[in-house]
Structure 1
Amino acid sequence: MEGNKDITIYDIAKKLNLATSTISRALKDHPTISTKTIKKVKKTAEEMGYVPNTLAAGLRGNKTNTIGVLIPTVTQPFLSSLISGIEIAAQKSGYNVIIMQSHDSYEEEVSMAKSLYGSRVSGIICSLVQIPVILTT
């Protein structure tokens, strides 16, 4: 890896004297890019320590491939099993999972849901707090 800075497709393009669009397509195995160029780009990217910026890609495509899971606590056996299943299914589909605990606080749930929405998650799975309602006659 060169230095401590994040390597971008611009750095790879400069080193190989290729267009950034060619680098981007090569890294995605685009059929219009020759196999030779794809191998050369991927080898250089690996040598330079390139790591794709999924946040930037998500913002460009308006899709983060992240699912937010909002639960009261992870200590409940049912919820911990549920989270495990969600993570397995999400990973198989190319998604990441963010888990947030409200600790049975309605206010925290609202705040966390807004935070997840602001992070542009692709979806939210939640188990909401049950606020007791006292009925009088």
Structure 2
Amino acid sequence: MAIAEVSTPLQLYIVDTANFMKGEITVSFRNEGNEPVRIPDEINDETADYFFLTVLRTERGDVRILNREIGTMTFQRPLNYRELAPGREYSVTIPVCLDEVDLEDWKQCSCELETRYYNQQGKDCFLGMLRATAKLALQ
């Protein structure tokens, strides 16, 4: 079954992979619409794996999932939100788990890093999925 990506004014970009080998990347949310957009302001080292699914692929077809955990998270309190005005962006650093990945064999080929942001929680905020990719050369 295919999942259609819906056009949305909120966009996601991978903006910095310089610390990838140290276990983190920086992503940015950008409001490219004409109205304010709210997102949960709850993304940190402990919760990022519940909002993001990050995958590394080689041109040879090798694939590694770079999350510590994958699942859903339920907040037992009201969420904190961040509102992005039109044209504004918000960057956050998220962890990538390299513990079980031997990247030595991957250093001789180009890779694509993909992260997907999922949010199904919150009131009057963006609900859905956003996708971003970046080319990556491992050193």
TM-score by length of 1: 0.22
TM-score by length of 2: 0.22
Which protein, 1 or 2, shows the higher relative CO under an 8 Å CA cutoff with sep ≥ 6?
A: 2
Q: Which structure carries more helix by proportion?
A: 1
Q: Which structure carries more strand by proportion?
A: 2
